[in-house]
Amino acid sequence: MHKPIPLPEVARLSLQCLDLTSLNDGDTAADIDALCRRAQTRFGPVAAVCVWPRFVAQARSLLPTSIQVAAVANFPAGALDVVLALADVKAIVDGGGNEVDVVLPYRALMNGQAAECAGFLAQVRAASRPLALKVIIESGVLATPELIAQATQLALAAGADFVKTSTGKTPVSATEDAATVILREIAASGLAHAGFKASGGIRTVQDAGVYLERVASTLGEAALNSKRLRFGASGLLTDIEAVLGGQASAPTSSAY
Active-site residues: which are they?
101, 164, 197
User: CA-CA distance, 106 to 147, in Å (whole number)?
Assistant: 9
Torsion angles phi and psi, residue 184, rounded to 5: -60, -40
Using alpha carbons, list the distances in angstroms from residue 187 to 49, 75, 94, 145, 228: 27, 27, 34, 16, 12
Sign of CA dihedral 170, 176, 177, 182: positive
- What 8-state DSSP symbol labels residue 222? G
Q: How far is CA 46 from the centre of its chain?
A: 13
Phi, psi of 103 (to 5 degrees): -85, 120
